[in-house]
Amino acid sequence: MRWEGERESSNVEDRRSSSPSMGGGGVGGGLGRGGIGGRGIGLGTIAIALVGGWLLGVNPLTILGALSGAGPGIEMPAPSSSPGGMRAPGGQVSQPTDQGGKFASVVLASTEDVWKAMFAKAGAQYQPPRLVLFRGRTQTACGLGESASGPFYCPADQKVYIDLAFFDLMQKRLGAAGDTAQAYVIAHEVGHHIQNLTGTMDKVQKLRQRLSEAQYNQYSVRLELQADCYAGVWVHHSQQAKNWLEPGDIEEAMNAAAAVGDDRLQGASGTVRPESFTHGTSAQRMQWFKTGAQTGRLDACDTFNAR
């Protein structure tokens, strides 16, 4: 992507200088010693879970539980009554000045331009999310956010949280390299923000109380695939506006989508359980991202009524 010199978003909070560091070995070392369900988990499995959680927007302990056959994992805390936008104790919130932070800011700015125009076309006003860059852990309106939880969107404060260090892990462990692959991650989380604004996320969440886990998982898959499609919609319109994608960039993003398919992540343990899928297969994730990228239309992203 030719992103240098493009507009940077002002809706970025860089908390990295005030975020506690996870220290040497970090989360990976702790999980390696403790294991899940009494079974040892190698570094390769931990890396898959960490990167998978980063892209999928879920706690990697959930993925580790599936990979180790230990059953349901640990979920992120439920939204608390704490106000959004809390700073780390004694910390400062500022704009990023490093290349990684500036890149994330440029991508966020592009999503703002695309979705503002699309909402305006529909007669609505777009309220952009804020992007929080942190290291280690940080407070959110959805509880304590940690690097091990991967990038995630918190609907309670309408913020996307990312520890940029895991982009390196994504490249080294899953082979999802390239700046467009990283942009896909950000655009996918912004896709969840769109679902929050349009009420789709709330509707799906309410089904949790009425459906079995297997039934609810099917709706979760469709929610995630729609966010993938929305990421593709962003790619379509940002390319039309900026012509900033280079040969191979779309393939980079699709490779990232494929790398975090439920079947590929679970297949790392040799056991694939379709009834436990929550984000879709590699083929589905690529298909819906491609649909959004080719059409650029929101109505093409109706994953809930698709077969």
Q: What's the average model confidence in pLDDT over 267-288?
A: 86
Structure tokens at 15: 């908390």
The model's pLDDT over 43-70, given as tens digits with 9 standing for 90+, comes to 333 444 555 554 555 544 444 444 334 3
DSSP class of 36: B
Higher pLDDT among residues 258 and 68, named by residue: 258
Residue in 238, 142, 222 with CA at minimum distance from that of residue 186 = 238
pLDDT 10s digits, 176-185: 888 999 999 9
- Three-state secondary-structure class, residue 47: helix
The Cα 141–Cα 127 span in angstroms is 18
Contact, 280 vs 224, CB < 8 A? yes
pLDDT value at residue 154: 95
Determine the 3-state secondary structure of 1 from DSSP.
coil
Residues 6+ apart with CB under 8 A from 254: 286, 289, 290
Q: Mean per-residue pLDDT for 245-257?
A: 91
- Predicted model pTM: 0.77
The four Cα atoms 143, 49, 210, 274 give a dihedral, to 10 degrees, of: 170
Mean pLDDT of the chain: 79
pLDDT at 93: 55
- Give the position of tokens 């503002």: 116
Average pLDDT over residues 235-256: 94
pLDDT tens-digit profile of 135-158?
A: 989 999 999 988 877 789 999 999
CA distances from 156 to 77, 78, 254 (A): 12, 10, 29
Which of 99-108, 163-172, 278-287 is predicted most confidently?
99-108
Position with higher pLDDT, 32 vs 120:
120
Q: Give pLDDT, residue 52.
A: 53
